[in-house]
Amino acid sequence: MAGKGRLSPTLVSYMPPDGQMSRYSNRRPDSARGVPILLYHRVSDDPAPGLEHYCVSPANFRRQMAWLQAGGYETILLDTLVDHYTSAAALPARPVVITFDDGYRDNLDNAYPVLESLSLRAIIFLVAGAVGRKAGWDAAFGAPPSLLSWPEIRMMAKGPITFGAHTINHPHLCQITAQDAWNEISGARTILEDGLGHEVSSFAYPYSDFSEEVRGFVARAGYRAACSSIWGLSTSADDVYALRRLIVGGGDSLESFARKVSGTSGTRRTWHPVLSRIKRFITRSQSASTGGSSLV
């Protein structure tokens, strides 16, 4: 183990309990109530068996992003959120952070065009030693999918995408030596900064596996922030090296996505029908789809 005092992140449940409902709030998120940091992995119609919850279909992703835009949400970067937490820098009325872990190539094929068309920004956390290769950490579930290449990454960096580090080899950081963990964390930043030609300031823990020692390595390596997969809206009470996120899964309906963003969904809450604003949006979306028009 790399260190003591390992934290125990809360695993996220993607699907609501059958027949149960919860209160849905239509209030705007703010720094006191919390900022949604959304976590995606793949955006594809072809998930590996066993990894369906980590794969959102392109159609659902388009609907989710269109819902954010229609609801007046404004995407911000993690640096902006950290500035707000540390120096009270202003945030927009409805801030949201969109993140992707691992750097799958389908993020370019299926997510990038949607984000670009809607003027939404996002951050992709790259496995620095696997750029241009296959996602070997998915090999137990079948043929591993392709990852972004350096030319693709540099092209995306000219648009609405920024990049963060997700180690060099995607290990469980608490299951390797302290020296290896340090090398994975600090080395990823060096590789990515060399490849991008600019500073990389954010990090995400693979498997949300970290300890107090690992967290210290991230800070010492010069990152300004790190994302976990601990469930919840991010607030100023968060450690900036253990920011909470909301995983968006393949089983999320537009209603459950809306509840997550609003901060009224959780692993132990019950569920109820969304309010009329969300229903109207769904109706308009379905009507547009029937008429042959696109949401984006």
Distances (CA, A) of 103 to 148, 169, 255: 6, 12, 27
Give φ, ψ of 249 to 5 degrees.
-110, 170
Q: Which of 35-39, 60-64, 242-246, 291-295 has the lowest mean pLDDT?
A: 291-295
pTM: 0.81
Virtual torsion, Cα 146, 120, 36, 253, nearest 10 deg: -70
Q: Which residues pair with 230 in a beta bridge?
A: none
Distances (CA, A) of 263 to 6, 96, 121, 269: 27, 12, 21, 11
Tokens found for residue 88: 């009270």
Closest by Cα among 96, 101, 125, 103 to 203: 125
Using one digit for the tens of pLDDT, what is the confidence trace for 164-210? Answer: 999 999 999 999 999 999 999 999 999 999 999 999 999 999 999 99
Distances (CA, A) of 96 to 43, 105, 134, 145, 150: 19, 23, 30, 28, 27
pLDDT reading at 217 higher than 90: yes
* Cα 259 from Cα 93, distance rounded (Å): 18
pLDDT reading at 237 higher than 80: yes
Q: Is 293 exposed, middle or buried (0-12, 13-18, 19+ CB in 10 A)?
A: exposed
Q: Which residue type is seen at 196?
A: L
**Distance between first and last Cα of the chain:** 47
Give φ, ψ of 202 to 5 degrees.
-130, 155
Which three-class secondary structure state does DSSP give residue 123?
strand
* Cα 63 from Cα 60, distance rounded (Å): 5
Q: What is the mean pLDDT of the chain?
A: 84
Q: Which residues pair with 234 in a beta bridge?
A: 35
Using one digit for the tens of pLDDT, what is the confidence trace for 67-108? Answer: 999 999 999 999 999 999 999 899 999 999 999 999 999 999
**Domains annotated on the chain, with CATH:** 37-268 (3.20.20.370)
What is the per-residue pLDDT for 88? 87
Which three-class secondary structure state does DSSP give residue 9?
coil
pLDDT reading at 286 higher than 70: no
What is the per-residue pLDDT for 13? 28
The full DSSP string for 37-104 is EEEE-EE-S-PPTT-GGGEE-HHHHHHHHHHHHHTT-EE--HHHHHHHHHH-----SSEEEEEEEE-B
